[in-house]
């Protein structure tokens, strides 16, 4: 949509809303994510995390009711995401935009958040540049450079020197490839081949053969969480990479907690760097897991997107509390800058300068715990910013 059309629609919406948004008796949160299609799990995980937060913290804050409106992008669909965001702002008069599983959808909505001065809480989309696209964006998830660069340290320290990279060919994949490769090479390692696979319906077999032919110590992988990790690990096992002694190192998207139990034994021993594991040991994580299970019967194991959504709601509650229930975009951003959250992943802060998340990145290994595979944390890099910022 053209900028002028957005402005006209926003003006019409403002005229309809005779009262300022805060005079409504509810605080509205519009959640934009895929709830159907190949990335349906992203929306469901976020919804699960939001339900878990609200089940344990109530649905009222500062005397007002919190109402969450879910919108399905069916994505990756930047155009649909933009249209839904416009509807949420103009028709539903939301106080917050939230969700955003996929980078292209977050990027499509950023100009609208800027123009409408709506705080936009990114609960997953993890390409570094996103937070620079609007002053009203705060990210509570991660960035791919943040979780990938530490793997470049871990690898060389552990004699993984010759590496093939394999990433999804779009923002987060390109970010992961760059951050990992730069850190690996700085430490004296070598990228022997860099492979990019399409975001939509990748056919992994020919790429996996190329990895095998290159005979590296390991393959470094970023693919978006979910079905693609299952497909990659299946090819890895079937094409004999494991037998050839080629290890898998990856961001935790590959072994995301929700799909890990269905991925089979080939994942055992896979090393990943990431900000959240369901196996994280802390009272905050125990409370989260309990609340997620109670609020989402049959919902399986929560993953990092559920956690980011839970934390995003925490942020929204804190902002609402501090502003006495009267949400103003600029005032909300002032509260979000520097905000500290006691997350199930460990403590995190929102960098006041970049509005991006600063957190611990853990090194984990897939191990059998009580008959189930888990990402078991065994080392950590504290206070990681997005390294590009």
Binding site for ligand PHB (CB under 6 A): 102-103, 124-127, 172, 224-225, 253
Toward ligand PHB, which CB reaches closer, 64 or 280? 280
- Secondary structure element (H or E) that encloses residue 53, with its range: helix 40-57
d(CA 255, CA 263): 8
Minimum CB separation of residue 172 from ligand PHB in Å reads 4
d(CA 318, CA 81): 26
Toward ligand PHB, which CB reaches closer, 125 or 218? 125
Any bridge partners for residue 33, and if so which? 72
d(CA 256, CA 304): 7
> Going by C-beta distance under 8 Å and a sequence separation of 6 or more, which residues neighbour residue 312?
49, 50, 98, 121, 123, 140
Minimum CB separation of residue 60 from ligand PHB in Å reads 32
Toward ligand PHB, which CB reaches closer, 46 or 125? 125
Is residue 248 a contact partner of residue 236, using CB atoms and an 8 Å limit?
yes
Toward ligand PHB, which CB reaches closer, 224 or 329? 224
Minimum CB separation of residue 120 from ligand PHB in Å reads 14
> Going by C-beta distance under 8 Å and a sequence separation of 6 or more, which residues neighbour residue 203?
none
Minimum CB separation of residue 20 from ligand PHB in Å reads 33
Minimum CB separation of residue 119 from ligand PHB in Å reads 19
d(CA 73, CA 37): 9
Minimum CB separation of residue 175 from ligand PHB in Å reads 9
Is residue 80 a contact partner of residue 73, using CB atoms and an 8 Å limit?
yes
Toward ligand PHB, which CB reaches closer, 273 or 320? 273
Toward ligand PHB, which CB reaches closer, 153 or 253? 253
Is residue 145 a contact partner of residue 179, using CB atoms and an 8 Å limit?
yes
Is residue 373 a contact partner of residue 267, using CB atoms and an 8 Å limit?
yes
d(CA 299, CA 243): 35
Enter the DSSP assignment of 131.
G
Minimum CB separation of residue 167 from ligand PHB in Å reads 11
Closest CA to 100 of 129, 120, 128: 120
Toward ligand PHB, which CB reaches closer, 127 or 134? 127
């Amino acid at each position: 949509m053209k900028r002028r059309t957005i402005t006209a629609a926003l003006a019409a919406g403002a005229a309809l809303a005779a009262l300022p948004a805060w005079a409504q008796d509810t605080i509205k949160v519009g959640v934009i994510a895929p709830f159907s299609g190949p990335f349906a799990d992203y929306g469901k995980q976020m919804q699960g995390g939001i339900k878990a937060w609200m089940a344990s913290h109530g649905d009222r804050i500062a005397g007002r009711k919190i109402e969450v409106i879910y919108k399905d992008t069916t994505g990756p669909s930047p155009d649909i995401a933009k249209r839904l965001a416009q509807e949420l702002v103009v028709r539903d008069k939301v106080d917050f935009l939230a969700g955003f599983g996929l980078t292209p959808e977050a990027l499509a909505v950023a100009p609208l958040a800027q123009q409408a001065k709506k705080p936009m809480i990114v609960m997953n989309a993890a390409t570094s540049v996103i937070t620079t696209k609007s002053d009203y964006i705060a990210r509570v998830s991660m960035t791919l450079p943040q979780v990938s660069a530490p793997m470049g340290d871990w690898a060389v320290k552990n004699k993984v020197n010759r590496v093939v990279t394999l990433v999804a060919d779009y923002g987060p994949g390109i970010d992961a490839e760059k951050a990992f490769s730069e850190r690996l090479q700085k430490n004296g390692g070598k990228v022997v081949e860099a492979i990019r696979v399409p975001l939509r319906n990748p056919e992994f077999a020919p790429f996996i053969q190329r990895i095998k032919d290159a005979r590296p110590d390991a393959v470094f992988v970023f693919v978006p969480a979910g079905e693609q990790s299952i497909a990659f690990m299946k090819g890895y096992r079937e094409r004999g990479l494991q037998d050839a002694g080629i290890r898998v190192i990856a961001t935790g998207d590959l072994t995301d907690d929700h799909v890990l139990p269905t991925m089979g034994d080939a994942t055992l021993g896979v090393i990943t760097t990431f900000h959240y594991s369901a196996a994280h040991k802390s009272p905050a994580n125990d409370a989260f897991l309990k609340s997620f299970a109670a609020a989402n019967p049959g919902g399986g194991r929560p993953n990092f997107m559920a956690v980011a959504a839970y934390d995003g709601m925490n942020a929204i509650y804190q902002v609402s509390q501090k502003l006495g229930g009267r949400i103003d975009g600029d005032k909300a951003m002032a509260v979000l800058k520097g905000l500290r959250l006691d997350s199930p992943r460990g403590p995190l802060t929102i960098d006041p300068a970049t509005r991006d998340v600063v957190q611990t990145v853990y090194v984990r290994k897939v191990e059998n715990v009580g008959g189930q595979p888990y990402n078991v944390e065994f080392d950590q890099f504290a206070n990681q910013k997005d390294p590009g910022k």
